[in-house]
């Protein structure tokens, strides 16, 4: 007897053809047919999160580290709504993420009949936070819409895409499409710039004596091209989400140092800044008030990027990899760089590091300790904390484009889930996730997801007994009134015991390296708490450059 083949089976087979090895989500009434098909095949790992919020952030982090497509499967209505924060973050970060959600049966769609989980505005909700959103209304539409959704997600500028599949459509019997045998994950070819724009770019760079390359998230796949330009003597600086295009211990790397006084002084000497795949986001440029070199050229695949933040003398529409590769090939042998350029970069790097260590005060040793104990190919995940916002951005060297990630939208709380997703996508590399006590408490249920999956992640919790970032802002702008910023932190020792993972508490910088080293040597999740009350007050985060203590 021929086995019945349904749309749920098609979804499972399609995901395999898209090179998907791990899917995150929660089983529920409106996605059982699809998850039953995934379970019967036993070819894709399904990670059962404790919330769609957590599962979505895991899928996002997994895709960022692994380099492919992230997949979240949620239920309908409240379940889909729970996924929205993760979809918002994936949009901020430009993560290719496929969100598959169920829907009420087609006969009840958009009729507000009160069926279980029915939210008549679900499609509009998802469309408002995703790059695109689709609904499958007939079994024969399923393969085409799924493929279109993945193409949308994977086409630059990349982002999240949602697909609604009503539960009766998932159950519908169909013939297995022959096209499944030849499908592969769409990876659009890099779009080259037009010849006139490229020629103008080459002319501008060749004429510069002190050029600087600023790379963003859109240049993460252009590591070879960025390295080629650096090899020609052009220094590089990055956005917070574009780090690691070249290793940040390279002598011509200024890391993500914009805004630091010594590096700002260097920027004043730059006669041409080439911006590749970066928004020059307000969060990093003090709402575009940061002084950047006056002559700028911009490379971006999205024409809407032109003039969105800073103006440019020349806009080149093209993929960062294709454009920078062509630029490197054409300017080789044609540059006439200032012989002092490399020395000035080195001096700015050294001065910035020294000044930042002074700013960090009692926490000055922390970035070096964490960098030393984490393997060179380790993954550093950061929730929004005082440490993340200061040394996590500025004083921790990143060596590869998929070696660090954080909530680009600046939400507090995704870090725990992101640490799990990153660890599962890291391919055996060690993962360290730093959180504050307030953010960590927002999604505690996912500790048991980490335990179930034996995710190889160390949670480093900076416990200052409240929302430290918020309290620093309240100190600076609201007279030190800490309204609603002091929630009681969890007992981290008991949490660790309850979820079956090793635990250590650190009460001085002298004990940090040993505690982290032991935790990282453990196969599976572990938790290290840093008692900030014992170490001392953290330097004031919310202060204008040069980041003087308030």
| Residue 545 domain-assigned (yes or no) | no
Assess whether 13 and 145 both reside in one domain: yes
* Percentage, residues of the chain above pLDDT 70: 98
Domain span at residue 430 reads 365-535
Does residue 148 fall inside a structural domain?
yes
Q: Which H or E run contains 436?
A: strand 431-436
Residues 384 and 267 in one domain: no
Tell me how far apart the alpha carbons of residues 381 and 1 are, in angstroms, rounded to a whole number. 50
Does position 549 have pLDDT exceeding 70, yes or no? Answer: no
Query: Tell me, what CATH number does 217's domain have?
Result: 3.40.50.1220
Q: Please, what is the end-to-end C-alpha distance for the chain in angstroms? A: 77
Coil, helix or strand for 405? strand
Question: Are residues 419 and 524 located together in one domain of the fold?
Answer: yes
**Per-residue pLDDT tens over the stretch 117-142:** 778 889 999 999 999 999 999 999 99
Co-location of 39 and 174 in the same domain: yes
Determine the Cα–Cα distance for residues 426 and 64; give it in Å rounded to an integer. 10
Could you tell me if 112 and 168 lie in one domain? yes
pLDDT, tens digit, 9 for 90 and up, residues 296-354: 999 999 999 999 999 999 999 999 999 999 999 999 999 999 999 999 999 999 999 99
Residue 117 domain-assigned (yes or no): yes
Q: Is residue 188 part of a domain?
A: no
Whether 227 and 113 map to the same domain: the answer is no
Q: Pick from 128, 154, 181: which residue ends a domain?
A: 181
Q: Are residues 202 and 317 in the same domain?
A: yes
**Closest listed residue to residue 268, CA positions, set 176, 344, 166:** 344
CATH of the domain at 63: 3.40.50.970
* 105 and 31 share one domain: yes
Confidence band for 1, pLDDT divided at 50, 70 and 90: very low
Q: Which of 150, 181, 212 is the last residue of a domain?
A: 181
Same domain, 294 and 442: no
Q: Residue 390 gets which letter from DSSP?
A: I
Residue 398 inside a domain? The answer is: yes
Domain contains 186: no
Is residue 90 within 8 A of residue 411, CB to CB? The reply is no
What's this model's pTM, rounded to 2 decimal places? 0.95
**Distance (Å, whole) CA 460 – CA 391:** 14
- Domain termination site, one of 290, 315, 349: 349
According to DSSP, the residues that pair with 57 across neighbouring strands are none
Residue partners of 340: CB distance under 8 A and separation at least 6? none
* Residue 196 pLDDT greater than 70, yes or no: yes
41 & 173 share domain: yes
- 150 and 209 together in one domain: no
Of the pLDDT bands very low, low, confident and very high (cuts 50, 70, 90), residue 541 is low
Question: Distance of alpha carbon 393 from its chain centroid, rounded?
Answer: 13
pLDDT in tens, 109-119: 888 867 777 78
Residues 428-448 have pLDDT tens digits of: 999 999 999 999 999 999 999
Structure tokens at 491: 């007992």
| In a shared domain, residues 503 and 531 | yes
Residue 470 pLDDT grade (very low, low, confident, very high; cuts 50, 70, 90): confident
126 domain residue, yes or no: yes
User: 104 phi and psi, to 5 degrees?
Assistant: -60, 155
- Report the pLDDT value the prediction gives residue 43, as an integer from 0 to 100: 97
| pLDDT band for position 473 (cuts 50, 70, 90) | confident
The count of domains in the chain is 3
């Amino acid at each position: 007897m021929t086995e019945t083949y349904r749309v749920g089976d098609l979804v499972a087979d399609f995901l395999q053809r898209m090179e998907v090895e791990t899917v995150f989500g929660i089983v529920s009434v409106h996605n059982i047919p699809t998850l039953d098909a995934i379970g019967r095949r036993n070819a894709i790992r399904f990670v059962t999160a404790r919330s769609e919020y957590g599962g979505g952030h895991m899928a996002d982090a997994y895709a960022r580290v692994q380099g492919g497509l992230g997949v979240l499967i949620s239920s309908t209505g409240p379940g889909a709504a729970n996924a929205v924060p993760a979809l918002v973050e994936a949009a901020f970060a430009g993560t290719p993420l496929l969100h598959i959600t169920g829907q009420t049966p087609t006969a009840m769609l958009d009729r507000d009949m009160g069926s279980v989980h029915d939210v008549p505005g679900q499609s509009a909700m998802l469309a408002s936070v995703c790059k695109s959103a689709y609904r499958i209304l007939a079994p024969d539409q399923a393969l085409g819409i799924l493929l279109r959704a993945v193409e949308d997600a994977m086409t630059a500028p990349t982002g999240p895409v949602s697909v609604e599949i009503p539960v009766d459509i998932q159950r519908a019997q169909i013939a297995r499409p022959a096209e499944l045998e030849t499908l592969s994950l769409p990876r659009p070819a890099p779009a080259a710039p037009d010849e006139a724009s490229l020629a103008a770019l080459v002319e501008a760079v060749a004429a510069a004596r002190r050029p600087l390359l600023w790379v963003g998230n859109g240049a993460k796949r252009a590591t070879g091209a960025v390295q080629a330009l650096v090899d020609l003597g052009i220094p590089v600086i990055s956005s917070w989400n574009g780090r690691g295009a070249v290793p940040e211990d390279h002598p011509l790397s200024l890391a993500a140092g914009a805004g630091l006084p010594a590096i700002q002084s260097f920027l004043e000497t730059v006669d041409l800044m080439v911006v590749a795949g970066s928004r020059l986001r307000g969060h990093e440029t003090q709402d575009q008030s940061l002084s950047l070199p006056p002559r700028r050229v911009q490379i971006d695949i999205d024409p809407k990027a032109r003039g969105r933040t800073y103006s440019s003398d020349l806009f080149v529409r093209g993929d960062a990899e294709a454009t920078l590769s062509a630029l490197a090939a054409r300017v080789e042998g044609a540059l006439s760089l200032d012989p002092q350029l490399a020395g000035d970069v080195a001096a700015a790097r050294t001065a910035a590091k020294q000044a930042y260590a002074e700013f960090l005060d009692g926490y000055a040793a922390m970035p070096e300790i964490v960098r030393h104990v984490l393997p060179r190919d380790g993954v550093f995940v950061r929730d929004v904390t005082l440490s993340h916002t200061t040394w996590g951005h500025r004083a921790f060297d990143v060596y590869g484009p998929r070696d660090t990630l954080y909530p680009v939208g600046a939400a507090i709380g995704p870090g725990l889930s992101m640490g799990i997703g990153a660890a599962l996508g890291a391919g055996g590399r060690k993962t360290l996730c730093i959180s504050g006590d307030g953010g960590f408490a927002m999604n505690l249920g996912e500790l048991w997801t980490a335990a179930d999956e034996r995710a190889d992640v160390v949670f480093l919790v900076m416990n200052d007994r409240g929302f430290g970032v918020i309290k620093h802002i309240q100190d600076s702008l609201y007279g030190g009134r800490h309204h609603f910023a002091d929630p009681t932190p969890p007992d981290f020792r008991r949490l660790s015991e309850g979820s079956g993972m090793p635990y250590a508490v650190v009460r001085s910088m002298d004990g940090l390296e040993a505690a982290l080293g032991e935790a990282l040597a453990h196969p599976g999740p572990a938790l290290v708490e840093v008692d900030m009350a014992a170490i001392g007050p953290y330097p004031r985060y919310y202060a204008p450059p040069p980041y003087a203590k308030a």
